[in-house]
Structure 1
Amino acid sequence: MERESMEFDVVIVGAGPSGLSTACRLMQLAQEKQQELMVCVVEKGSEVGAHILSGAVFEPRSLNELFPDWQEKNAPLTTKVTGDDIYLLNGEDSGIKLPGFTVPKTMHNEGNYIVSMGNVCRWLAEQAEQLGVEIFPGFPAQEVIYNDDGSVGGIITGDMGLDAEGQPKDSFMPGMELRAKYTVFAEGCRGHLGKELIEKFDLAADASPQHYGIGFKEIWDIDPEKHQEGLVVHTAGWPLDKDTNGGGYLYHAENNQVFVGLIVDLNYSNPHLSPFDEFQRYKHHPKISQYLKGGKRVSYGARAMAKGGFNSLPKMTMPGALLVGCDAGTINFAKIKGNHTAMKSGMLAAEAIAEALLLEGAVAEEGKQDLTNFTEKYQNSWLYDELYSTRNFGPAMHKFGTFLGGAYNTIDQNIFGGKLPFNFKDDSLDHQQLKLASEAPVIAYPKPDNELSFDKLSSVFLSNTNHEEEQPCHLKLKDKDIPISVNLAKYDEPAQRYCPAGVYEIEQAEEGAKLIINAQNCIHCKTCDIKDPSQNITWVTPEGTGGPNYPNM
C-alpha cells in the first residue's frame, strides 16, 4: 500500500505528561540555540487529555524546571494540598487514622496540588504549540517504521475506514508514514508499540518483570458542607484481602468535587476477584461514604499503571528511539505519583536528542545511533535518585504483605532515607499468579444500590466511550480457542471480571460456551493485555478518536 509520508526531526507518540514535556523542552533548547526543529506529537484520543486518567496529587518539581513561570501562564494548578489523612480500614465499617510518624514520608503531600491531569496536559499542549510543536489528535500510532539497518525510523498512523474483516470501506483512508531522525514513545502504561520495542531490542534483559495495578477513578459533586478543599485521604486494607495489594484514595478538589478511587495490584491470585466490584464496595465504607452520600457521580474511568519501579525499568534507549514515562515505567509508587517523574524522563530525553541534533549550528542529518547520553543524564538526575531510593517499596509489600511490608517501608524511608542495604526483587509475573478457580473462594459481591455503587455499563456510559462499530476488533486473540478451552476451564475466564468495562462476556449456547468481545465498550485500560493468564490477548490501537473522552480526569 502506498502511503503519504512526512519527515520530521522528532516524532513523539502520545500527548501525555512525558510526551508533551519532551516536545516543550526540545523546542526550548532549539530556541536557545537559535535553530529550528520540526517536532510533531501524535495522540490517539479525540483531543489532548481525552485518554488521560490520574488521581491526581501532583508534585510540581518537573513543572518548576520546565516552566518556572507556570503560575503566570495560568497552569491549572489551583488546589494546594491542605492536609493528609491516612486510614487503615480493618473492616467494612471500621478503620483507624494512622499518625504521621507511622506513614512513609513519601506519602506526605506538603507543597503538592490536587489537579486534573487531563487539564494539565491540555495546558502543556498549548505551551507546546506556542513553541512551534505540531500536535495531531485522533491519529494513533499503529506501527513502528524500521530502517534497513534495524533502527527505528518513525511510525505509521492507523488506517481509517476498514470494516470488521479489515477490508476498505468507501470512507477508507490509509495511515501516513511519519518519519523522524528520532522517535519518542510516550504511550503510557503498557503501550503496544513500547511492548513491541522492549521485546525486539531486548530492553528488559537486566530488569525484573514489570508489575501493574488497575486504578479506578470517579469524580463526584458533593454537598458543600462536606467538602474540604485540599484534603487528601488515602486508605489501606479493606475491601482488599490479605492476599491482594492496593489501596484507595479520596481527594477534595475545587468546585465542591472529590476524586475517589481504588488501586488493585494485578498480581492478585483469586480468579473470582473483580477489581471493579471491589471499588464499588469501597465507596460504602463510612470513611468514604461520609463524603459521597447525597452527592452525584459525574465521571468514571480506569487505567492500568506500571508500578514495578526502579527494578523493573527497561533500558530506555535503542537505535533511533527512546521510551519515556509510563511506557518505560518511571512511576514512583512509593509516592503514588508518576506525573512528575514521567515529565522529567521526557525532559531528559529532549536534552539527549537536542545534543544529537543541534550540532555546531546545524541540524544533524542522521539520527540512528543509540542515545547513550540519555542514560548518563538519567543516572545523574534527581529522577534516578528518587526511583533508586524507593526501589524496595513494591517488592517489600509483595514479599512481606501490606502490613509488614508497610512497616519496613516506613522504617526505610523515614529513618534511613531509602538507603537500607537491601535490594528486594520481585521476579514473579502478574499474569501467572492466579489460582485455579476450583481452589479459590467465590466472592459474592452485593448488587449496586445506584446511589454509591453502580454497574459496569452505566459507568462506561459516564466515560463517554465511543468506537466506530464497523472496524476491526482491536483486542486480538492469538488463539480463539484458548478463552474457552483453557481460561474458562481452569480460571472461570477471569476476563469477565478483571475488565472494568464489560468488554468480555461468556455466552452459553447449544453448541457450547463462547467468548463475546464487546470492543466498543473498551476504555483502553490495557488490563486484559496484562492479566490474561494465557497471555492470549494483545491490545492494539483502534481507529483514531476511539475510546473514552474524559473531560477533566
Structure 2
Amino acid sequence: MTNDEILAQFGPREAMEYDVVVVGGGPGGLATAIRLKQLAADKGTDLSVVVLEKGSEPGAHILSGAIMDPRALTELFPDWKARGAPLNQPVTDDAMIFLGESASLRTPNFLLPECFQNHGNYIVSLGNVTRWLAQQAEALGVEIFPGFAAAEVLYKDDGSIKGVATGNMGVGKDGEPTADFQLGMELHAKYTIFAEGARGNLGKQLIARFKLDAGRDPQAYGLGVKEVWEIDPKRHQPGFVMHTAGWPMDNSTYGGAFLYHMEDNKVTLGFITGLDYANPYLSPFEEFQRWKTHPNIRWYLEGDEAQGIKPGKRLGYGARAITAGGLLSLPKTVFPGGALVGCDAGYLNVSRIKGSHAAIKTGMLAAEAAYAAVTAGRQHDELTAYPEAFENSWLHTELHKSRNFKTWFKKGLVVATLMNGVEQFALRGHVPWTLRRDKPDHLSLKPAAECKPIAYPKPDGKLTFDRLSSVFISNTNHAENQPAHLTLKDASVPVGINLAKYAGPESRYCPAGVYEFVKNADNSDRLQINAQNCVHCKTCDIKDPTQNIVWVTPEGGGGPNYSGM
C-alpha cells in the first residue's frame, strides 16, 4: 500500500501543535531547541519546542572524529565546565604527517597553519556531548522524542512549511500494515528547523523544492570511516592529535586520516575519502584498513611482546558522510516556515575538520530568528534574520577564509598542499581569489575500462577487519520486516549500467556491506540490498553515478547505536 492508501484507510493522523519543531537531535538541533528555551526563560515567555530524533536515543547516530572547538558551546553555556559537559581531554600536541608507503615526513609545528592548530580545543566523543546536550535541553523544558523519524514534510496551501509527519510503524516488507501497525503523527509548527546532518533526507527534498542551491557550487562530500581502540598505556599520549595525508591515496585522490588520543587509554582513528574520487574500484573502507598497516599507525595499535606492549583492542566502528563544499556550496538556508542548520545545510569547515561548533552556532542563530518571529506574532514566513546574522558572525569569517581549501585538491595533493599553505599560513586566510566547482561528486567516476583494479589485502582480524564484523560492533539493527529504506528509481540500472559500465561501485563504496552483486539461477546478475546492515552514512545516496539509489527514512529507532563514538 502507498502512504496515501494507508492514510485513506487508517487516517487521519493525530496532530500536535508546537511553536517550533526541530528535526534532528544532534548538536545543531539541540542547540536550536536550547537557545529557544533560554530566550523564553530570559523574557518570561512560554514557547513550546519539540525535537524529533530518529535514533533510539540522542547520540545513537552521532559520529565524528572529533576535535571540538568550544567557542560556540561557550556562547550557549558559559558554565559548561561546571555543568559537567564531557569535554575531558584538551589537545596537548598537533602533528601533520605526510605518508609514503613506508616512510613519513612530519611538518614542523611552527609551519602549521592556523586551521591545523588545536590549542584550546578538546578531543571528545561527540555522541557523549550530544547526550549531555539532550539532558540540558530537557531540563529547560524541551520535549525530545527519540525513535521518531521525521519522514515527510507537510505544506500549507500557500506552499509554506506546516510541519512534519513521522513515519508509520509496523509496515511489513510487502508494504502492508501488520498486526503491530501504528500510524505516524503530524507535528505542526509556526517554524520547523531541519538539523538532520549531512545529506539529510528531508533537507535534500527542501533544497530541490525551493531551489535553495541555485547559483551555488554543487555540494562536495567525504566519507568518514572511524574506529575507537583501547591501547597499551605505554603507547598512549593523552591529548596528542595526528593528521595524515598521502598514502594510501594517490596524488589525484582527495583523502586524509586522523588519530586522536582521548582519555582512558583510548584512541579514535579514522579515514576520510573525498566522494569525488574517479576510480570505481576504490573502496574507502579498504583504504582505511590499509592505512592502519603503515608503520606510523600500527605502532600504536599492535602489541610488542619483547617490550611488554599489549595489543590494542577495537571497541567501536562507524561511518558517516560529511559535507566538504564549505561556504561556496552553502545553499540558501531559509524558506517559508523553515530553515536548515548545521550539516543539513553544509556548514562544516573542512580545512579544520570540524563541524560541531558550526552546528551549534547556526542552531543558535536560527533559534534567535525564530524566537523573534514567534513572539512578534509571525509564522510560516522566511526567517531572513538568520542568514543575515550568519553573514555578520565569526563563523562566516572562518568559513570565508577556507573557501578554496577543498577545491585546490582537484589539482592534486602537491598543488593543494602548496596553495593551501600559501592561503592559510602565508596569507592567514585573507585570500583575494576564489575557486569555483561545477560538477557534483556522483559525476566524477570514470568507466571501469579506463581504470586499474585495486587489489586489497585480506583482513587479518587483529589490525584490519572486514565489513560485517565492523558493522556488528556498531550495534546496527533494523526491524527485519519493514520496507527497505534503500530504494531504486529503476531496478534495471544497477546491473544494466552500474555493473556493466562501472564494475558495480556500490559494492565497494558502501562501508557496511549493504550492496552486493549475486548470481541468479540462470547465471545472470542482480543487486542484493542488505538494508539491515545500513549505518545511515548516506554514501550511496551521494555517490551512485546514476543517482538511482534514494535513501529514505527507515522505521524510527533503527540504524546504529553508537557508544563512545
Query: Do the two structures share a fold, i.e. TM-score over 0.5?
Result: yes
Q: Could you tell me which residue of structure 1 aligns to residue 105 of structure 2?
A: 96
Partners of 2:534 and 2:559 within 8 A in 1: yes
Tell me the alpha carbon deviations over residues 233-282 of structure 1, each in whole angstroms, 9 at most, x when there is no partner: 10000011112101000000011000010000000000000100000001
Please give the secondary structure, in 2, of the residue aligned with 1:6. strand
Report the alpha carbon displacement of residue 168 of structure 1 after superposing the two structures with TM: 0.2
**1:551 is the counterpart of 2:563:** yes
Which one-letter code corresponds to 1:411 in the other structure? Answer: V
1:290-309 superposed matches below 5 A: 290-293=299-302, 294-309=311-326
Report the alpha carbon displacement of residue 96 of structure 1 after superposing the two structures with TM: 1.0
Q: Could you tell me which residue of structure 2 aligns to residue 331 of structure 1?
A: 348
**1:521 is the counterpart of 2:521:** no
Residue of structure 1 aligned with 2:172, choices 163, 178, 191? 163
Please give the secondary structure, in 2, of the residue aligned with 1:300. strand
Moved more, 468-477 or 374-383: 374-383
Report the alpha carbon displacement of residue 550 of structure 1 after superposing the two structures with TM: 0.1
Residue of structure 1 aligned with 2:69, choices 59, 65, 73? 59
Q: Could you tell me which residue of structure 2 aligns to residue 70 of structure 1?
A: 80
Taking the aligned partners of 1:329 and 1:344, their CA distance within structure 2 comes to 13
Taking the aligned partners of 1:420 and 1:90, their CA distance within structure 2 comes to 31
Moved more, 189-198 or 94-103: 94-103
**1:214 is the counterpart of 2:229:** no
Q: Could you tell me which residue of structure 2 aligns to residue 9 of structure 1?
A: 19
Tell me the alpha carbon deviations over residues 334-354 of structure 1, each in whole angstroms, 9 at most, x when there is no partner: 101011011101000001001
Q: Could you tell me which residue of structure 2 aligns to residue 417 of structure 1?
A: 428
Report the alpha carbon displacement of residue 417 of structure 1 after superposing the two structures with TM: 2.0
Taking the aligned partners of 1:541 and 1:338, their CA distance within structure 2 comes to 23
Partners of 2:251 and 2:414 within 8 A in 1: no
Q: Could you tell me which residue of structure 1 aligns to residue 3 of structure 2?
A: none
Which one-letter code corresponds to 2:113 in the other structure? Answer: P
**1:191 is the counterpart of 2:200:** yes
Which one-letter code corresponds to 2:457 in the other structure? Answer: P
1:309-328 superposed matches below 5 A: 309-328=326-345
Partners of 1:496 and 1:502 within 8 A in 2: yes
Please give the secondary structure, in 2, of the residue aligned with 1:119. helix
Partners of 2:35 and 2:364 within 8 A in 1: yes
Q: Could you tell me which residue of structure 1 aligns to residue 246 of structure 2?
A: 237
Residue of structure 2 aligned with 1:472, choices 473, 477, 483? 483
Report the alpha carbon displacement of residue 118 of structure 1 after superposing the two structures with TM: 0.3
1:477-516 superposed matches below 5 A: 477-511=488-522, 512-516=524-528
Q: Could you tell me which residue of structure 1 aligns to residue 272 of structure 2?
A: 263
Report the alpha carbon displacement of residue 101 of structure 1 after superposing the two structures with TM: 4.0
Partners of 2:66 and 2:126 within 8 A in 1: yes
Partners of 2:70 and 2:357 within 8 A in 1: yes
Q: Could you tell me which residue of structure 2 aligns to residue 386 of structure 1?
A: 398
Q: Could you tell me which residue of structure 1 aligns to residue 298 of structure 2?
A: 289
Residue of structure 1 aligned with 2:416, choices 405, 412, 419? 405
Q: Percent of counterpart pairs with the same letter? A: 57
Which one-letter code corresponds to 2:14 in the other structure? Answer: E
Partners of 2:114 and 2:428 within 8 A in 1: no
Q: Could you tell me which residue of structure 2 aligns to residue 23 of structure 1?
A: 33
Tell me the alpha carbon deviations over residues 25-80 of structure 1, each in whole angstroms, 9 at most, x when there is no partner: 11001111100100000000000000000000100000110000000000000100
TM-score (norm 2): 0.96
Report the alpha carbon displacement of residue 205 of structure 1 after superposing the two structures with TM: 0.2
- 4+ runs of 1 displaced by more than 2 Å? 100-104
Which one-letter code corresponds to 1:443 in the other structure? Answer: I
Taking the aligned partners of 2:225 and 2:50, their CA distance within structure 1 comes to 31
Q: Could you tell me which residue of structure 1 aligns to residue 57 of structure 2?
A: 47
Taking the aligned partners of 2:28 and 2:68, their CA distance within structure 1 comes to 14
Please give the secondary structure, in 1, of the residue aligned with 2:527. strand
Which one-letter code corresponds to 1:519 in the other structure? Answer: A
Please give the secondary structure, in 2, of the residue aligned with 1:75. coil
Taking the aligned partners of 2:396 and 2:95, their CA distance within structure 1 comes to 29
Tell me the alpha carbon deviations over residues 307-345 of structure 1, each in whole angstroms, 9 at most, x when there is no partner: 000000000000000000000000001101011011101
Tell me the alpha carbon deviations over residues 412-464 of structure 1, each in whole angstroms, 9 at most, x when there is no partner: 11222212211001211111111111110000000001111000000000100
Partners of 2:401 and 2:431 within 8 A in 1: no
Q: Could you tell me which residue of structure 1 aligns to residue 442 of structure 2?
A: 431
Please give the secondary structure, in 2, of the residue aligned with 1:84. strand
Q: Could you tell me which residue of structure 2 aligns to residue 372 of structure 1?
A: 384
Partners of 2:326 and 2:399 within 8 A in 1: yes
Q: Could you tell me which residue of structure 2 aligns to residue 34 of structure 1?
A: 44
Please give the secondary structure, in 2, of the residue aligned with 1:50. coil
Please give the secondary structure, in 1, of the residue aligned with 2:204. helix
Aligned residue pairs total 546
Partners of 2:249 and 2:255 within 8 A in 1: yes
Segments of structure 1 that go 5 or more residues without pairing to the other structure are none
Taking the aligned partners of 2:491 and 2:50, their CA distance within structure 1 comes to 38
Which one-letter code corresponds to 1:413 in the other structure? Answer: Q
Tell me the alpha carbon deviations over residues 501-538 of structure 1, each in whole angstroms, 9 at most, x when there is no partner: 00001001233101000000000000000000000001
Q: Could you tell me which residue of structure 2 aligns to residue 136 of structure 1?
A: 145
Partners of 2:199 and 2:538 within 8 A in 1: yes
Please give the secondary structure, in 2, of the residue aligned with 1:355. helix
Taking the aligned partners of 1:145 and 1:25, their CA distance within structure 2 comes to 25
Q: Could you tell me which residue of structure 2 aligns to residue 272 of structure 1?
A: 281
Please give the secondary structure, in 2, of the residue aligned with 1:48. coil
Report the alpha carbon displacement of residue 402 of structure 1 after superposing the two structures with TM: 1.6
Q: CA RMSD in A?
A: 0.8
**1:354 is the counterpart of 2:371:** yes
Partners of 1:25 and 1:350 within 8 A in 2: yes
Please give the secondary structure, in 1, of the residue aligned with 2:422. helix
